[in-house]
Amino acid sequence: MKDMQRTGGGGGMQMFGSLPDSFDVTVNANSPIAQKALADGGETIAKQAFDLALLAQGLLKGEALTAFVKRSTELL
């Protein structure tokens, strides 16, 4: 509905712009990266994987993107 409003197809209803964005995340627990994160309490690995998924969808922006790049270079 928010996308329709942005394109002008919302029929004059401006109430959807105030709705928060929400995203569903599904984690494949059989994935090697998920196994590693679960095994050692790898919060950094989990955050990195989550941010990578956001980046792939074009949803990682601003300060979060900067933090992701910094973490990536530190992990290398």
Read off the amino acid at residue 59: L
- Encode pLDDT of 23-49 as tens digits: 777 878 888 877 877 776 777 777 888
pTM of the model: 0.53
**Where do the domains of the chain lie?**
25-76
Burial of 37 (0-12, 13-18, 19+ CB in 10 A): buried
CA 46 – CA 40 distance, rounded (Å): 11
Contacts of 1 (CB under 8 A, 6+ apart): 10, 16, 19
C-alpha 52: how far from its chain's center? 7
Give the position of tokens 């494949």.
28
Asked if residue 51 has pLDDT above 80, the reply is yes
